[in-house]
Amino acid sequence: MKCSSLYYSREVRRYGYLTFYHFSGDCDSKETQNEIKQQFVDNLMNSVVGASICSSGSCTIDNVNVICRQDRRKRQSEHEGERFERGIFDGSFNVEFTIIVSLNQTNENTIQDEVDPVSTLTESIETLSSFVRDMVESGNFTLRVWWDEVQADSLHVGPAETTCDDGYVKRGNSTCVACPVGSLFNTTTKQCEECDAGTYQDGEAQTECFLCPNEQTTLMKGAHNVKMCLSDDLGNDVIIKILGTLCALFAILATVLWCIPTRSQQNKVIDKSTDEIEDILKLRRLSNQLVAGPLPIVD
């Protein structure tokens, strides 16, 4: 079986969220939340840094969610005694987001498969994250939501992470390896799993295994070809034949081992043979003497 295919990751993601204060509107309103999302994406994508990185379609702002907070802060008036028609207490909310930087069709063609693009993508996402942080710290990251102008108070971001397409799992920090034949890619656990008995998969990077035809089954998990599917009767016959073959091999091996004499047995056989040879030689000498008759008497 050939090795699974692999490729360098072409996408880096970073999760983060911003906290905004001084909002007097209805944060729980679906319409308001959609307005906040749109203003946030536009503010980031239309910025100088955001436009320079994302104008070619190499980055997106995804998974934008508005989380209304329970705490409310009292707004400080710039003019003493000024009253607000909508009340003097303001709410706050978090905007969760994921920055995705990936290779687009243009820059993907300029990077060879042998070159790891993750460092380039990570550099881009770091630049965009640093820009947002600088905007927040300088007090310039604001959103215009209905009649309120809300200001970002703090930024929290997680580590930059590479991602792989479905059917592939990460190996190291930048390599994506396909799930091999005989397995499927679990979209929940993001891991490769062997096909169950009675199923097979002859392609790599797949998210499901095929059932064996005609209610057939397989002898074990991880079947990678439809030819490994067998009928129940045939499967039983194969198992019986395998067991029969193993028994025959064991019988032959046991016989061979039983018939091989030990070293002590070999020595006994050699000693006995030597004694028998010496007895035979004695009998032969005695026989020769009897045939020759008595020795002549010399005066």
Number of Cβ within a 10 Å radius of residue 72: 14
Residue at token pair 């998974």:
63
Q: Alpha-carbon Rg of the chain, whole angstroms?
A: 42
Token reading at 272: 């006995």
Q: CA 110 to CA 263: how far, in whole Å?
A: 74
Report the domain count for the chain: 3
The residue type found at 185 is F
103: nearest Cα among 46, 176, 167: 176
What is the three-class DSSP state of 74?
Answer: strand
pLDDT on residue 77: 44
Domain check: are 126 and 17 in the same one? Answer: yes
> Model pTM greater than 0.75?
no
pLDDT on residue 80: 43
Q: CA 225 to CA 229: how far, in whole Å?
A: 8
Please give the average per-residue pLDDT across 6-16, as a whole number. 91
Residue at token pair 């607000």:
84
Q: CA 179 to CA 159: how far, in whole Å?
A: 26
Domain check: are 153 and 216 in the same one? Answer: no
Q: CA 163 to CA 169: how far, in whole Å?
A: 9
Domain check: are 151 and 33 in the same one? Answer: yes
Residue range of the domain that includes 124: 9-162
pLDDT in tens, 237-276: 555 567 667 776 776 776 655 555 555 555 554 555 566 6
Domain check: are 76 and 219 in the same one? Answer: no
